[in-house]
Amino acid sequence: MAVEDHDNERPRLSTSPAGAGAAGGAPSSEKQDVVRTSGGIRRFPGFLKASWAELQRVRWPDRAQVAQGTGVVIVFVALAGAFLGGVDKVASELVDLVI
């Protein structure tokens, strides 16, 4: 009896007769029609407003953080370039010995 009471308290996930909407099945044809007809250029101003609001919430790095990040990138690129240059030199010497 307790299991049945618990199941009755749970909110319904789908109101469609087949129960296919939110339960993991194929979306109903009503939802597909809404998705097809509600897009386009009419939603673009809302997209721009939401994008601007999101950009205002971003915590932008200060000058010190940008300088530190730039330094890390430059050092990594220099190390990777030196490593790949060394590997290339060794590989070319090996190919010259074989040929």
In the chain, the number of structural domains is: 2
- 45 shares its domain with 73: no
Task: Kindly report the pTM of this predicted structure.
Answer: 0.46
Q: Print the domain residue range for 50.
A: 14-58
- 70 shares its domain with 49: no
- 66 shares its domain with 95: yes
Query: DSSP string covering 17-44, please?
Result: TT--TTTTSPPPHHHHHHHHHS-SGGGH
pLDDT given at position 75: 98
**61: which residues sit within 8 A by CB, 6+ positions away?**
69
pLDDT tens for each residue of 6-36: 555 555 555 555 544 445 555 555 555 555 5
The 8-class DSSP code of residue 4 comes to H
Token duo for residue 33: 């029609």
Query: What is the maximal distance between C-alpha atoms in the chain?
Result: 84
